[in-house]
Amino acid sequence: MTPGPIYRFPLDSGQASGALTVVGLYDATGMLRFVGSSIEACMEYANLFELALLPSSLQALPEPVVPSIKVRGDRHLEERSS
């Protein structure tokens, strides 16, 4: 049985800058089924759990953003009476 077409969205966005690319495997309903470091890892996951690859999609996932908290000025957390 030959799998049908697998839709591949831009996957090489981070390779030029040297950043690690993370790839997500989505099923026909749009549910994220697996996150891996390569297309091959996603394909192996689908084969391991016998997931139908038609229709499905592979998409590069954005890098997670690290939230930063900026404190401006002096913050005094002392007890104050009003």
Give tens-digit pLDDT for 19-64.
667 888 888 788 888 888 888 888 899 889 888 777 777 777 776 6
Is 66 within a domain?
A: no
Is 68 within a domain?
A: no
Is 74 within a domain?
A: no
| Global confidence as pTM | 0.51
Neighbours of 23 (CB within 10 A): 20
Is 11 within a domain?
A: yes
Give the tokens for residue 73: 């000025």
Radius of gyration of the chain (CA): 21
The total of structural domains in the chain comes to: 1
Residue 40, Cβ density class (10 Å: 0-12 exposed, 13-18 middle, ≥19 buried): exposed
Is 50 within a domain?
A: yes
The helix (H) or strand (E) run that includes residue 21 is none
* Structural domain range at position 33: 7-61
pLDDT score recorded for residue 78: 62
Is 81 within a domain?
A: no
pLDDT score recorded for residue 37: 86
